[in-house]
Amino acid sequence: MQTTTTKKTAIAWYDIFKPSWYVEQMQGWTASSYRLLLLGLGVIFGMTIAGKINAISILTMLAGMLGFTCTLSYYQC
């Protein structure tokens, strides 16, 4: 049995580090999904800057934003 990998599959893990990949993945969302995304990211950002800013709070903000975006995108499939 021979396994084959396409070029797109071989570089898929690397693409997640490019902002253009996220833009491409979010194409086709409904307007209400974009509004919910902006609201959620705004709340996460606002809660972060309301507290003490340090490296941990910035990393937590980025992780929260990524997690919220992934959760929202799951329901777009």
pLDDT in tens, 1-56: 455 555 555 556 777 788 888 888 888 888 999 999 999 999 999 999 999 999 99
Does a structural domain hold residue 2?
no
Contact between 76 and 33 (Cβ < 8 Å): yes
User: Rounded to 5 degrees, what angle do the CA atoms 33, 15, 35 make?
Assistant: 10
- Cα–Cα distance measured from residue 45 to residue 39, given in angstroms and rounded to the nearest whole number: 10
What pTM value is reported for the model?
0.72
Longest distance between any two alpha carbons in the chain, whole Å: 57
Q: Is residue 62 part of a domain?
A: yes
Q: Is 42 within a domain? A: yes
Host domain of residue 55: 30-77
Assigned domain for 69 exists = yes
Task: Establish if 59 belongs to a structural domain.
Answer: yes
In a domain, 48, yes or no: yes
Please check whether residue 18 lies inside any domain of the structure. no
Q: Which of 14, 64, 67, 20 is nearest to 43 (CA)?
A: 64
The number of distinct structural domains making up the chain is: 1
Asked if the structure places residue 74 within a domain, the reply is yes
